[in-house]
Structure 1
Amino acid sequence: MEFVQISEHVYKLTYETVVGIPVKINTWYVVDGEDVYIIDTGMEDHAQMQLNAAKSLGVPKSILLTHGHLDHINGAKYLQDELNIPIYAHEVEIPFINGEKPYPNKSEKETTGVEYRVEALSDNIIKTLPLDLYLTPGHAPGHVIYHHKDDNVLLAGDLFISRSKTLHPPIKNFTVDMSENINSGKVIDEIKPSIISSAHGEDVKYNDELYTIYKFIYE
């Protein structure tokens, strides 16, 4: 387990777990005054670590999900029960989180543990956040990324899998529409973040050729 500060207001917790295969999972904590926003919740067996990390930085305010896949939402029930804070996701993602229908590339519905406990990220909620939000469908229909404008750090969820200097697509078997996902990635050239932090991998420093190379290789 590693807990590091990646910018003035953004912290990252990294650990390895097994989801079929060993996987590195990153979750984030955005500090805004005394408030702490938890971005994704990883797996339930590491939720206590997340709770400790969030509390060490201030008062947990809410949980913001990039999407509803197991390795991003499995700890949400524990954290919400312990902290009594709201959980938010994009409205497009809510039916999949609730188990009302399966993801388009899956035959079975998700069991998230927080069915009908996740609220849609309405405009009124978004206005209160210290983050900008971008809808980036493809990996999941309601996948979003969060940009901390002041620190210029992009929390990219599963939009990419990242290495220290390169970007790669998410795992195909867990991705609804890979072409759409790759096209969604062009948002980094609009945002031009200093740092791209993905849920699986290492932080990457942005440059103007990063997405061009990624698209050329994987499109």
Structure 2
Amino acid sequence: MEFVQISKHVYKLTYETVIGIPVKINTWYVVDGEVVYIIDTGMQDHAHMQLNAAKFLGIPKSILLTHGHLDHINGAKYLRNELNIPIYAHENEIPFINGEKPYPNKAKKETTGVEYQVEGLSDNIIETLPLDVYLTPGHTPGHVIYHHKDDNVLLTGDLFISHSETLHPPIKKFTNDMEENITSGRVIDKIKPSIISSSHGEDVKYSEELYTIYKFIYE
């Protein structure tokens, strides 16, 4: 496990788990005064570490999800029960989180443990956050990313898998529409963040060539 501060207001918890294969999972904590926003919840068997990290930094305010896949939502039930805080996701993602229908590329519906407990990221909610929210469909229909403007850090969920200097697409098997996902990735050239931090991989410094190379290789 590694717990690091990646900017003035943003912290990252990294651990490795096995989901068929060994997988590195990153979750984030955004500090805003005395309160803390938890971005994604990883796996339930590591949720106690997330609880400790969030409480160490301040008063947990809410859980913000990039999307509803197991490795992003599995710890949400534990954290909600322990902290009694709301969980938010894009409204396009909620039917899949609720198990009302399976993701388009999956045969089975998700069992998240937080069915009908996740609220939509309405404009009124987003206005209260120290983050901008961007809808980036493709990996899932309601996938979003979070941009901390003051620190210029972009938390990208599964929009990319990242290495130290390069971006790669998410695993095709778990991605609804890869073409749409690659198109969504162009948002980094609109935002121009200093740091791109993905759920699986290392943080990457932004450059103007980054998306161009990614698009050329994978489109």
Secondary structure at 1:51 match in 2: helix
TM-score, L = length of structure 1: 1.00
1:69 equivalent to 2:69? Answer yes
| Per-residue deviation, 1:2 | 0.1
Hey, what does 2:152 align to over in structure 1? 152
Residues of 2 paired with 1:35 and 1:188: CA distance? 27
Residues of 2 paired with 1:210 and 1:123: CA distance? 30
Secondary structure at 1:38 match in 2: strand
Whichever residue aligns with residue 96 of structure 2, its letter is F
Hey, what does 1:25 align to over in structure 2? 25
| Per-residue deviation, 1:114 | 0.2
| Per-residue deviation, 1:125 | 0.3
Hey, what does 1:198 align to over in structure 2? 198
| Per-residue deviation, 1:203 | 0.0
Hey, what does 1:5 align to over in structure 2? 5
Secondary structure at 1:130 match in 2: coil
Residues of 1 paired with 2:116 and 2:18: CA distance? 27
Aligned-pair Cα RMSD in Å: 0.2
Q: Deviations over 1:59-98 (max 9, x none)?
A: 0000000000000000000000000000000000000000
Residues of 2 paired with 1:98 and 1:212: CA distance? 37
Give 5+ residue unaligned stretches, structure 2.
Answer: none
Hey, what does 1:79 align to over in structure 2? 79
| Per-residue deviation, 1:217 | 0.1
Residues of 2 paired with 1:86 and 1:21: CA distance? 31
Residues of 2 paired with 1:28 and 1:217: CA distance? 29
Secondary structure at 1:173 match in 2: helix
Residues of 1 paired with 2:46 and 2:102: CA distance? 26
Give 5+ residue unaligned stretches, structure 1.
Answer: none
| Per-residue deviation, 1:129 | 0.2
- The percentage of counterpart residues that share the same residue type is 87
Listed as ranges, the matches of 1:119-138 within 5 Å are 119-138=119-138
Residues of 1 paired with 2:127 and 2:82: CA distance? 26
Residues of 2 paired with 1:19 and 1:95: CA distance? 24
Secondary structure at 2:154 match in 1: strand
| Per-residue deviation, 1:212 | 0.2
TM-score, L = length of structure 2: 1.00
Residues of 2 paired with 1:144 and 1:85: CA distance? 20
Secondary structure at 1:17 match in 2: strand
Whichever residue aligns with residue 47 of structure 2, its letter is A
Whichever residue aligns with residue 108 of structure 2, its letter is E
Whichever residue aligns with residue 8 of structure 1, its letter is K
Listed as ranges, the matches of 1:200-219 within 5 Å are 200-219=200-219
Listed as ranges, the matches of 1:167-178 within 5 Å are 167-178=167-178
Residues of 2 paired with 1:24 and 1:118: CA distance? 25
